[in-house]
Amino acid sequence: MAQTVLFACNMNSVRSPMAAALLQRSGGDRVSVDSAGVYEGGLDPFVEIVMDELGVSMAGHEPKTLAGADLSKFAVVIALTPEAAVEARRLAPDGTIEFWDIENPSDERGGREAVIDAYRRARDELSGRLCERFPELN
């Protein structure tokens, strides 16, 4: 049976789709992964750039909200923002909710390279946390 994981952030546009794509890539058919946000956003173009560097396509990402997701289908919900953690606990009070404090790369100010570097740092931090949390899927 595949492990089931939902990643949640505020807009389902940066951190949660990156985490879901990274775990799906390493876990393959051993994991069922999805992502959602407190609010529905659109995929951030910088996410596509930094994920493409790893050969990971974000083409299939469809933004969705936590309220529209059936949290009972997931063994664990990993919230990547405080707001997402609160909303996940509200929607699934008996669920397994973890909180990973991942910096929001869209807060970066500066030129294009500074912004892309911030997205790379978030991607790489997520990748490292995923390796620690799910060693059996690497």
Please list the pLDDT of the chain residue by residue as tens digits (138 residues). 579 999 999 999 999 999 999 999 999 999 999 999 999 888 899 999 999 999 999 988 889 999 999 999 999 999 999 999 999 999 999 989 999 999 999 999 999 999 999 999 999 999 999 999 999 887
Structural domains in the chain?
Answer: 3-137 (3.40.50.2300)
State the amino acid at position 5 in one-letter form: V
Cβ-based burial of 90 (10 A; exposed 0-12, middle 13-18, buried ≥19): exposed
- C-alpha dist (Å) from residue 56 to 20, 37, 84: 11, 21, 25
Cβ-based burial of 61 (10 A; exposed 0-12, middle 13-18, buried ≥19): buried
* pTM: predicted TM-score of the whole model, two decimal places: 0.95
What is the spatial distance between Cα 10 and Cα 76, in angstroms, rounded to a whole number? Answer: 17
pLDDT at 4: 96
DSSP string, 15-66: HHHHHHHHHHHHHGGGEEEEEEESS-----HHHHHHHHTTT---TT----BG
Question: Do the bridges between strand 76-79 and strand 97-99 make them parallel or antiparallel, or are there none, so unpaired?
Answer: parallel
pLDDT at 117: 97
- Residue 98 is inside which H or E element, if any? strand 97-99
pLDDT at 138: 76
Q: With beta carbons less than 8 A apart as the criterion, state whether 61 and 43 touch.
A: yes
pLDDT at 43: 81
pLDDT at 40: 86
pLDDT at 72: 93
